Structure formats: C-alpha cells, structure tokens
Structure 1
Amino acid sequence: MTLTQVRDLYAPPDWHPGDHPPMPTVVGRGRKPDVFACGYCHYPNGQGRPENASLAGLSAGYITQQMADYKNGLRKSSEPNMKPPALMIANAKSVTEEDIKISAQYFASIKYKPWIRVVETQTVPKTFVAGFMHVPLEGAGMEAIGQRIIEVAEDLARTSLRDPKSGFIAYVPIGSIKKGEKLVINGGRGTTTMCVTCHGQDLKGRGDIPPLAGRSPSYTLRQLYDFQSGARAGQLSSQMKESVANLTMDDMVSIAAYTASRDP
C-alpha cells in the first residue's frame, strides 16, 4: 500500500483480515463525504490507539450510548483543540441509527486482547506529538517523567502503518501502580468511590459499565479528567463526577496506571 492509501479515512488498512469478523460497510468504508470508517481510528479489530478508544469488548449498549452523547453535545473533550473527539462528534451527527447499531454489535463481538505494556520509570524518552501520539524524539535523550503518563508505540514503523497487532508501552511514575490499586480497590479510604463497585472486581466491566483492565492509561486519564471538568455529561456521568470530584491529577494518573496494568 502507498502512504496515501494507508491514510485514507474511508478505507482503513486491513493487514490481518482473518483476525476479525467481516467488517460492515460503516466500519470498513464509511460513507463519503462525512462518515469516516470506524475501523480507521479504532482499527478493524477494535484495539484502538492512545488518542481514541479501544472498542473491542465494549458492550453494544455502551457504544450506542456514547454515540448518542456525542451527537447530543453531552460528550466532548476538556481540550478544545484535540482533534479525535471533534471527529467523533462530527461522525456521530452524520451516522444513521442503523449505522450505530451495526457498528456497536460488530465491535462488541470482538474480544479485546492484551495491548498495553505498563512500565514504571523515573525517566522517559523526550517526545513530540505526531499523528495525535507521543513519538520519541530521535537523539534527544531522556527526561524526568514527573507525574505524567507517556504512551508510545512498541514499534513506531508498524504503528505508523496502522498495524493492529503492534501495541504500546505506557510509561508511568514509580509507585503509581500500587497507589492506584489502593484507590481502585478501597477508594483510598474515602478519597473516591471504589472503581470495582461498578466496573467489577476484575475491572472487566458489568453489562453496559465499561471494562478498564488493560486499556490505554492515556485514554482512561483523559476520561477521568473530562468527568471531573464536566466535559462528559451523559448517562451515568453524575455518578462518575461524584467519584472523581476529590481526585488530584496524581490520583488519576495512578488509577489509570493500575487499571492499564491489569490483565484484560
């Protein structure tokens, strides 16, 4: 494939067609000029990338509700210049109810696979943002991680070609996984609601409550922040807003680090 073909929003590269069911038209082709193929950003197998959601294994009901929230202005990003959420809002306003039903059932039928390798560290490669992701800056050396999550491709060349079998490394601060465990399992002694209460003891979700285990910590952190800021105000958001009200950024980084480190 040429790079132009790889970057076609209406024809996502499908390097491993035997790894997923046949893609419905809305997933594999979209509809020009205003409905991008779902499989482009989220990959044909639903594994997704740090800048967007992993849809594989989410319930059809949850996916459907999120599309409704995007369409009705109840879900956006706290960062107005972040393009992927803006693209989702535009798509949600252009797709039909049948498109949503078909794509939700498709992604819900696919099992999510281990995708993120979480590494606690004091230093990380210096990065810049390209293609909505952190990319190591060649020859620039290392820097302190601080209280950040830096998520990068395991194999940048393969990820640049949108290979849905090439995952990611998530660098997180030392000690964050243990701290996150306390917040997730027992609420940090009153700091927050125990995540396991709704998302399950194994963090693999319950019904239309989404799974958290093994999912992108960058994505999880953004969602926690969006609930706290009110950028996410859809169904069940009031419960989440209450849960995150007293969390610091350090708390949210730790929660995301812990949930990402769990076996999906």
Structure 2
Amino acid sequence: MTINRRACTAVLLGLSLWFQSAVADEGVMQSGQRIVEMGDQHGHASCAACHAANGAGQPALGIPRLAGLPADYLERQLAYFADGERDSVIMAPYAKRLDASQRQAVARYFASQAPQPADTAPRAASAELLAHGKDIYERGISAFRTPACAQCHGVRALGVDGFSPPLAGQSPGYTVRQLEQWRSGSLRGATGKFMRAEAAHLSDLDIQALASYVATLPVPLNASSNGDKQ
C-alpha cells in the first residue's frame, strides 16, 4: 500500500490548524464569560449585573436581551460606546475600560448564548395598537415615503445576515427608548444617518405601536437560528 506523504502532510497540517483555531476560540469564549460574570481585570462591574450572565437582560427595566444577537453587531456597538459614537452614560464608561480583544470576547460570548423565554410577558397591548405597529413594520409610512422596517430587519424581525440587529422579543421599553433616541438625533454610530431619517417621521404613537408589535414576535430558542434571509 502506497502512502501519499504529501497528502498526509496536508491533512495533518489542516488538523493542526483546526485544533489551534478551536483552542483559540475556546480561550476567547472563556475570556468573554469571565468578563461578563466577574467584570474586567480592574474589578469593574460585570455585564451580568444588568444583562444577566446568560444575556437575558431585564425586560421589566428596559435592559435589552443580548443572547443570540450577532457577535459582529455586539462588537460594533461596544466600540461605538467606547469611541463616543453612541451615547450612553451607563455603557460608555464600561466599554471604554475594555480593549478591542475584550470587547470581541464579550460579544462572542453573548452571541453564543441561546435566548431564553422571558420570565414575564410584556404588558398586553391593545389589538389596535399591535395592528398599527404591524402595518408600519411591514408596509412603512407611505405619506413620508418611510420604508418598511422589515426591509432591513427581516419579516420576522430577526435581523438580516448581520447587517441589522434582531428586534423580535425585545422589551417594549427598550425599543421605545432606542427609537426615541434615533428620532432625537442622538449619536448612534455609523448607521445613524439612515435610522435617524427613518425615525424622524414616527409619532409617539407609532413608536409605541412598533415597540409593542416586535415584542410579540417569537425569538428562536437557538442562538444559531437568528437571522432573516430575504
């Protein structure tokens, strides 16, 4: 039996590289989990204090769920907070204490967590309010030529291929606050111009309706299943 040494060498090299990558990934995940649960090496408050160790957030307080959100999206938001491109008196000081590798580790850890069912359901909205939110989400506002939210966030509000974040299942309080910030012109990062233009035409009722509607949409209980593809 003839052994192709070149082929064997290539296979062994491939396995070695895969193993090194797997070890590196495991190290990143462990680093992210440690920061999430215990804070950074300087003894800063942990992410879990607000967002929970599993990334479930605190819907009743309007603290967002991070579990299962795209890692690249989470990493970008942390960078925006750290660089001052996104306003938050709470998040900015924390993000500034983390270096780029730590922000990546935290983002990848939260992205790996499977979303869990909310402990408490959001306050029931009226059928009329939900219908209004669904109409704006799926059709936009023709009078202002405002496109449908679904065009960027997907028909199920699960985000689209990492381009836009999932909205499904987020607490109404959190979504309302974000839309109000977009409308007010608050700093929000590189995509700010587009979203500010969209939110500029939303009334208080529109914002409440949209937030209530997306909160009712189901969240896949599997981190890897997030994302709408159109």
In the alignment, which residue of structure 2 is the partner of 1:41?
Answer: 50
CA displacement, residues 176-202 of structure 1 (integer Å, 9 cap, x when unaligned) = 100000000000334432010011111
Q: What is the identity, as a one-letter code, of the residue corresponding to 2:69? A: L
Q: What is the identity, as a one-letter code, of the residue corresponding to 1:211? A: P
Unaligned 5+ segments in structure 2 are 1-28, 220-230
4+ residue segments displaced more than 3 Å: 171-174
In the alignment, which residue of structure 2 is the partner of 1:62?
Answer: 73
Q: CA deviation at 1:40?
A: 1.7
The answer (yes or no) to whether the contact 2:122–2:215 under 8 Å persists in 1 is no
Summarize the alignment of residues 57-96 of structure 1 with structure 2, pairs less than 5 Å apart.
57-76=68-87, 85-96=88-99
In the alignment, which residue of structure 2 is the partner of 1:135?
Answer: none
Q: CA deviation at 1:49?
A: 1.3
Q: Select which of 141, 150, 155 maps to 1:188.
A: 141
Confirm or deny that 1:216 pairs with 2:225.
no
Q: CA deviation at 1:114?
A: 3.2
Q: CA deviation at 1:33?
A: 4.7
In the alignment, which residue of structure 1 is the partner of 2:64?
Answer: 53
% identical equivalent positions: 31
Confirm or deny that 1:262 pairs with 2:211.
no
Q: Residues 56, 96 of structure 1: CA spacing in aligned structure 2 closer, same or farther, 3 A cutoff? A: same
Q: Select which of 153, 156, 159 maps to 1:199.
A: 153
CA displacement, residues 24-61 of structure 1 (integer Å, 9 cap, x when unaligned) = 21011013656321122111111101332210111111
The answer (yes or no) to whether the contact 2:79–2:103 under 8 Å persists in 1 is no
Q: Residues 212, 52 of structure 1: CA spacing in aligned structure 2 closer, same or farther, 3 A cutoff? A: same
The answer (yes or no) to whether the contact 1:34–1:94 under 8 Å persists in 2 is no
- How many pairs are equivalent? 186
CA displacement, residues 123-174 of structure 1 (integer Å, 9 cap, x when unaligned) = xxxxxxxxxxxxxxxxxxxxxxxxxxxxxxxxxxxxxxxxxxx334334355
In the alignment, which residue of structure 2 is the partner of 1:141?
Answer: none
Larger strand share, 1 or 2: 1
Q: What is the identity, as a one-letter code, of the residue corresponding to 2:142? A: R
In the alignment, which residue of structure 2 is the partner of 1:97?
Answer: 100
Tell me how far apart the structure 2 counterparts of residues 31 and 107 of structure 1 sit (CA, whole Å): 16
Give the structure with higher Rg (CA): 2
TM-score, scaled to structure 1: 0.66
